[in-house]
Amino acid sequence: MKLGHYELGVPVFMAPLAGVTDKAFRETVRSVGGDYVWTEMISDKALTYQNSRTLQMLDLSGEGEPRIVQLFGNDPETMAQAAELAVTCNANIIDINMGCPAPKIIKNGEGSALLKDLPRAQAIASAVVRSVNIPVTVKIRLGWNDREIVALELAKGLESVGVQMITVHARTREQFYSGHADWEWIRRVKKAVSIPVIGNGDVLMPEDAGRLIEQTECDGVMIGRGALGNPWLIPRTQFFLKHGQILPEPSIEERIQVALKHFERVLHYKGERIGLNEMRKHAVWYIKGISKAAKVRDEIMQTRSVEEMQAVLTRVSG
């Protein structure tokens, strides 16, 4: 598939995940062979206010293309202004979040709340498309609940105002991340529009991506929680879709080496206090499935210094 001037083939995207896909994580995914990573979702208001933490989230320096920035908000004009600012920070693609189910996002009329206000959703997309000269994409869910499925209507409206790609997380807002993703709706959205459609939901191994594309004829896949502590899932899935072969899982030693390098990046960008706190969750994800994981998890959560964290992880690799 093509997006702007980017030839993406059958892309495997690392999903934007709040509190996860920061600069250190994006660099880690790229370091193991993942090509397509997104920023965490960034508040339009915070960006237009030049909030220092938000500007840090938008640090794209040294990152390869395409640099994809996801924005969220509920006001067309503010979203357009935020998109313009993102372009000045070297964004290559702007994505609009219309799927986040978090209550603190919903109460402000943002994220999944836009599934209940399609005219506003379309107005936001239209304003952003008009404000920038780079591709604009949107990530949606199926609807608010299984009685209010709006994915088809919303997708058509988004296409009509110039959105160039739609990612469909095949769950409703009511589901959050529970239950099963209904891939049938991805197929229906793909048939309803002529722009690329990316399938998202329940892709936990490369073969899942193959089944998703076979069943829905979507143009690519997006992987979220399955890649936590497992950034190799992105390039392994890309390789499977291209060659039909499954690459071996990384060894324990490789997992820990990448985890330690990831930790270095976190410390570099966020300092020891914040970096150690944030790395605990990543470290727990990296050691999932190893021998005595529960014991190691407890040790990780009790670490109080960089050296302690490094020592725990190094012991795991033997």
Q: Would you state the structure tokens that stand for residue 289, as one six-digit string?
A: 């499935």
The runs of H, that is alpha helices, within the chain are 23-31, 44-48, 52-57, 76-88, 103-106, 118-131, 151-160, 183-192, 206-216, 233-243, 252-286, 293-301, 306-316
Query: What number of other Cβ atoms are within 10 A of residue 161's Cβ?
Result: 18
Q: Please state, in angstroms and as integers, the Cα–Cα distance from residue 130 to each residue in 111, 121, 244, following that order.
A: 21, 14, 40
Residue 137 phi, psi dihedral angles, 5° rounding: -125, 165
Question: Is residue 106 classed as helix, strand or coil in its secondary structure?
Answer: helix
Name the percent of the chain in helix, strand, coil, to the closest 5.
Answer: 50, 15, 35
Query: Bridge-partner residues for 2, per DSSP?
Result: 7
100 is catalytic: yes
Q: What torsion do the CA atoms of 233, 181, 4, 119 make, to the nearest 10 degrees? A: -150
CA distance 216 to 198: 10
User: Which one of 100, 123, 140, 227 is the catalytic residue?
Assistant: 100
CA distance 78 to 266: 31
Which among 133, 152, 61, 145 is positioned nearest to 94, based on CA atoms?
133
Element (H, E) at 78: helix 76-88
Task: Check: CB of residue 149 under 8 Å from CB of residue 143.
Answer: yes
Task: Check: CB of residue 17 under 8 Å from CB of residue 226.
Answer: no
Query: Bridge-partner residues for 165, per DSSP?
Result: 137
Which among 86, 50, 43 is positioned nearest to 68, based on CA atoms?
86
Active-site amino acid positions: 100
